[in-house]
Structures are given as C-alpha cells and as structure tokens.
Amino acid sequence: MDDVDFRLIQVLRDNSRATYRELADELGLSVNSAHKRVQDLIDLGIIKQFRVFLTPKALPQYTVRVCGRSDTTSIDDTAKALGKDPHTARVVVSSGNSFHVVGMLEDVSDINEYANFVIRNGLIMNPTVRLLDAPPQEAKPKVSLSDLDYRIIASLQNDGRKQIVDIAGELGTSAKTVRRRLRRMEENELVHYGVIYDHASLGGIFTLLDAYLKNGQDSRKAAAMIRKKYAKNLMEVRTFSTLPNDITMDVWTGTMNELKTIQRSLEDEGIFEKIVPQIEYNVYYFDSWRDQYVREKAREKE
C-alpha cells in the first residue's frame, strides 16, 4: 500500500459512498484508476466492509474509550469476550498488550457500568476511561427518520456502497425515492458512511499517539492544528471531556523513521508535556446496539 492508497482510505472513512469521480478528483486520479485502487484494496483484504451508521443527530449516543495494559494470555479470546457486550464497537490491541476498547453508550450514565465490564473481562490494569468530546446532543432530532429511511439504512449496513437501483429493487420502491430519502438524511447529517479496514494488512506502521497537553492549552485548538498540519498521515484525532489535557491520534507511516519525525515535530510544537507512541497491530470490530437498533426499526416497518 502506498501514500495514495492511504489517502483513499482516509477519504472513504469520511464518506464511503463517494463516487469514483469524486474519489478521482480528490486524489488527482483517473476514474478508472480510482476504481481499480478501491477494488485492489478490497481484494487484498485491506478494506473489509463499507458501513453506514446513525449519527448522534439521529440517535443519541456517547463514545467511551477504556484503555490499559491487559494481563490476558489470549488476546483473541479476550477481545471476543469484550465484544459480547452490545455497547462494544471496536477493540484495538497495541504494543505492550494494551487494549483500547471503544464503546457506544445509549446514556452517559452507563459509563461506570460499562467501564467495569471492560476492566473485569479485559483484565485491564491501571485503566483510563475517556469520554469522547462531542457537542451537546438533543434528546430528539429536529428531523426524524421515516419508516422507509430505516429500511434504506438497514439495506446499506453491510454494503454501504450498494447502488441506489439495487436498494430500490430490494425495498420495492423507486430509485428516485431512495435517492431523495438518502439526500435528505445526508443533508441533515443523520447518517455517516464509513469503512472498516484491516490494520494488519495496511503495510507500514499504524501507531496510536497519546499526546498530553501542558496546562492551560486548549485541546480543541491543538486538535485542529494537528488535523491541518499532519493530515497526510492522520486517520483520526480525538479529544475527551473527561481528560481535557489528553489528545489521541491514529497515525500511519511507511517507515519507523517517518514516525519518529512526526513525534519529534509534535514535541517541537511546545504545547505537549509528552508524546507516547503505541504500535497498533490488531483491531476487532463488533456490531453494537446502534447497529441492532436500525435492524429492529427496519423489521418493525416491513
């Protein structure tokens, strides 16, 4: 995988329904080349699945990360045990037998119960619990989802790039109606089209950088600076309401020297106490209650 492939995954992570023309324009490729690269990433097992998710504007939800070194002797078994809780969406394993468990909560008051579950079943030592920083959520969205909307989203759950004509045929409605309903959901930011990719197949080095801000620094401004200055290598940057001095970021580099250069550059910004790298080498994905909610709503309306 080269830099162009990584940029392609970055774009698809933000919108996995981007057309091949949009991908080509974004990356400076021909349409045929963009199509071939996407297909190659699928064939190589790097892209595992295209997904669609309800956003907090459509369904109140809170993201929590429970992190720490695990005392487990079986990473696979422990990750699968953590995935049995319907709140678990992802388990990331990094160097030093560290687990980073991403949970989707229906209510912020569930954080202690879920964190205790992860700590107990993940055999996590010295855990940190981080609630993802996010704008305030309204109890009810200003724009609600219709019966047909839920059926459309359910149709896209395991194939987020499914053609509109195929969705229409599956649901017994017109392509024009499906296109109109999707456009409405997109314009109101009720859905997000994402991609599931395999870290182990990416090639290069995938690293989680923990950046600890000096006192008095603004985490959101720092995160905005990171997104702009280090965009070429970034997959995601996160800030947390429970740990305002902590920023975490997922960074992809082709070599260890490139990673060291990024780390030194971040240290030279002068706003961080320290930067702690952890090499990520495996990720486990799970359906959460959020995914099940869509399927249940779709079945109700059949």
The domains of the chain, with CATH numbers, are 3-44 (1.10.10.10), 62-137+285-290 (3.30.70.920), 147-191+292-300 (1.10.10.10), 203-281 (3.30.70.100)
* pLDDT of 35 strictly over 60: yes
Q: How many residues are listed for the chain in this entry?
A: 302
141 falls in which pLDDT band (50, 70, 90)? low
Task: Convert the pLDDT of each residue in 164-190 to its tens digit.
Answer: 999 999 999 999 999 999 999 999 999
CA angle (212, 218, 220) in 5-degree steps: 90
Judged against a pLDDT cut of 90, whether residue 106 lies above it is answered with: yes
Band of residue 29 on the pLDDT scale cut at 50, 70, 90? very high
**Predicted pLDDT of residue 1:** 78
Q: What is the mean pLDDT of residues 39-56?
A: 94
Q: What is the mean pLDDT of residues 41-67?
A: 94
Spatial CB neighbours of 274, under 8 Å, sequence gap ≥ 6: 211, 212, 267
Q: At what angle do helices 164-171 and 175-187 cross, to 10 degrees?
A: 110
pLDDT at 146: 93
Could you give the 3-state DSSP secondary structure of residue 101?
strand
Per-residue pLDDT at 198: 87
Mean of the pLDDT values across residues 216-228?
95
Per-residue pLDDT band for 135 (boundaries 50, 70, 90) equals low
pTM here is: 0.90
Place of tokens 């720490």: 68
The answer to whether 283 touches 93, Cβ cutoff 8 Å, is yes
User: What pLDDT, on a 0 to 100 scale, did the predictor assign at position 3?
Assistant: 87
Q: What percent of the chain has pLDDT over 70?
A: 97
Residue 256 in this model has a pLDDT that exceeds 80: yes
pLDDT at 139 over 60: no
pLDDT score at 137: 52
Cβ-contact 253, 233 below 8 angstroms: yes
